[in-house]
Amino acid sequence: MKTHVVIMAGGVGSRLWPISTPDNPKQFIDVLGVGRTLIQLTMDRFLPVCRPENFWVVTSERYVAKVHEQLPEIPLDQILAEPVGRNTAPCIAYACRKIARSHPDADVVVTPADALVLKTEKFAEVISKAVAAVSGTGRIVTVGIKPTRPETGYGYICAGEMAEDRVVKVDAFKEKPDLPTAQSYLAAGNYFWNAGIFVWNVDTINAQLRRHAPQIAGIMDRIAPAFYTEGEKAALAEWFPQCDKISIDYAVMEKSEDIHVIASDLGWSDLGTWGSVREHLPKDPEGNSAVGADVRLFGCRNCVVHAGGARTVVAEGLDGYIVSEADGNILVCRLSEEQHIREYSQKKPD
């Protein structure tokens, strides 16, 4: 099997404070209380299409030990440590150039580490179709998600036709829309959420990066001679921070002429906010969701309580609130104000 999976696991998930922090971001947390962390769930759903020895993780140097602890099946030398974060284009360029050195015919799926997919069997079918569509071709295929609501927090992919579960041409990528625009996308039927999952052959992406992101490709030319040697870490430390800080969407996807999408209803969420976490947790008759051994709610409605580390949580009379505890940090915030959590959680200046 020549399919490889690259898991991008360098983010800090600051909108899910206090359970997600720079020391222990959300991809390494059992956010939904199911006994598996998000990065473990990510690997689980790709196992039908990729052997464990063909998985790679790109992460921060500070998280290498966490990745190895949670995904011991992945060879340690395939956990790639970025000296600094430079967004997704340099991250992907590094992983795909290194894979190409040892597996020159590899087909690669790149995925975030911290999303949720509920329909895992359907997901494996979609990924298999995408891999078949890129193998031996110059195509790039991205995975689209059939929208269930006019969401303003996601980017969109405009497909050339209204088609599900088939690989079709992409007309355009769209930035996060305002509500009226999102409503028009939903009504049109050929707009899909951008899940940030990409499928390509290593030759294809490396050629596209050289064409559309020559600065990054040039940096990789300097690092590549050190791949699989003791000098790789030093070469990365010297050159990787000089890469342009840019997403793969801006660097390649919006410029390339041969982009396709396969879209489906996969029960997908990026779990980027407390509201999205609440959406995927069981709810009591009053609309409350809770993770924790002993959570007691009295007269509360439409709340999400996440306190896996606390012995007991008692709340009374709350409507539409987030209550979360982790490592001695406590958040009590209205769900309607959750966009400010990153700001609220910043340490006050001395």
pLDDT (tens digit, 9 = 90+) per residue, 222-281?
A: 999 999 999 999 999 999 999 999 999 999 999 998 899 999 999 999 998 999 999 999
Strand-strand pairing, 295-298 and 313-316: parallel
Strand-strand pairing, 167-174 and 259-264: antiparallel
Which residue would you say has higher pLDDT here, 42 or 350?
A: 42
Which residues are paired to 144 by β-bridges? 194, 263
Taking 70 as the threshold, does the pLDDT of residue 350 lie above it? no
Strand-strand pairing, 191-201 and 156-159: antiparallel
Buried b (16+ CB within 10 A) or exposed e, 284-303: eeeebbbbbeebebeebeeb
Contacts of 212 by beta carbon, 8 Å cutoff, 6+ apart: 251, 252, 255, 256
In this predicted structure, what is the pLDDT of residue 222?
98
- CB of 199 closer than 8 Å to CB of 131: yes
- CB of 124 closer than 8 Å to CB of 271: no
Token pair 């690259």: residue: 6
The vertex-89 CA angle with 88 and 95, nearest 5°, equals: 85
Contacts of 233 by beta carbon, 8 Å cutoff, 6+ apart: 81
Write the burial class of residue 225 (CB in 10 Å: 0-12 exposed, 13-18 middle, 19+ buried): exposed
Q: Which domains does the chain have, with CATH numbers?
A: 3-269 (3.90.550.10), 274-344 (no CATH)
Q: Identify which of 150, 155, 161, 147 has the alpha carbon closest to the alpha carbon of residue 190.
A: 161
In this predicted structure, what is the pLDDT of residue 293?
79
Q: What is the pTM of this model?
A: 0.94
- CB of 219 closer than 8 Å to CB of 209: no
Average pLDDT of span 122-138 = 95
User: Which residue type is seen at 19?
Assistant: I
Rounded to whole angstroms, the Cα distance separating 277 from 67 reads: 22
Computed over every residue of the chain, the mean pLDDT equals 94
pLDDT (tens digit, 9 = 90+) per residue, 32-76?
A: 989 999 999 999 999 999 999 999 999 999 999 999 999 999 999
Which residues are paired to 152 by β-bridges? none
